[in-house]
Amino acid sequence: MTAPASAAPPSAAPVLSARTPSVATPSAAADPGTRGRLHVADRVVERIAAQAAAEVDRATGAPRRVLGLSLGSADERPTVDAHVDWPVATVSVVMSVAWPAPVLEVTEQVRRHVEEQLATLAGVQTAGVDIRVTALPGPRSGDRRVD
């Protein structure tokens, strides 16, 4: 009995076709520089920084202002603008500090926390965190005063 003509002899090595995936060398897979690039968008850095600033006690968002008058409340997260030039970011925060908290102490806590969170979560170092405090809202009372 003879083998069919289309069957390859058992001793023949498999033939690689153009569709067979090539196996990367271990040295290429171990080198992080050859695996690609990470790009963190400015918007992502802004959101991480805004959340980090909001996590600091006595730091709140700044209310909108029209003609020097505050509109709305300061209960939201601080407003953040960021520019990333990988791996360094410059961050600008606009926020309020709840009265009677010391402004310098709260802003330093915000600066440190934003820097730590950006380094931890996004791998971004900060060239600077500029903070502008636009309001010092006092405690809210439910009673309205009428003179």
Find, among 111, 103, 112, 105, the residue nearest to 133 by Cα.
Answer: 103
**Is residue 45 a part of any domain in this protein?**
yes
**Is residue 34 a part of any domain in this protein?**
no
Q: Report H helices in 4-93.
A: 26-30, 42-54
Full pLDDT tens readout for the chain, 147 residues: 555 555 555 555 555 555 545 555 555 556 666 777 767 788 999 999 999 999 999 998 876 666 655 555 555 789 999 999 888 999 999 999 998 999 999 999 999 999 999 999 999 999 999 999 988 887 765 555 565
**Is residue 21 a part of any domain in this protein?**
no
Taking the C-alpha atoms of residue 86 and residue 84, their distance in angstroms, rounded to an integer, is 6
**Is residue 85 a part of any domain in this protein?**
yes
**Is residue 4 a part of any domain in this protein?**
no
Joined together, the tokens standing for residue 48 give 């991480």
**pLDDT number for residue 8:** 54
**Is residue 57 a part of any domain in this protein?**
yes
Joined together, the tokens standing for residue 16 give 């690689």
**Owner of token pair 């805004």:** 50
**CATH number assigned to the domain comprising residue 131:** 3.30.70.1350
Beta bridge partners of 64: 71
Say what the pTM is.
0.66
> Number of structural domains, the chain?
1
Q: Which domain holds residue 127?
A: 39-135
**Is residue 44 a part of any domain in this protein?**
yes
- The answer to whether 75 and 111 have CB atoms below 8 angstroms apart is no
Taking the C-alpha atoms of residue 8 and residue 17, their distance in angstroms, rounded to an integer, is 16
**pLDDT number for residue 51:** 94
**pLDDT number for residue 61:** 85
**Is residue 109 a part of any domain in this protein?**
yes
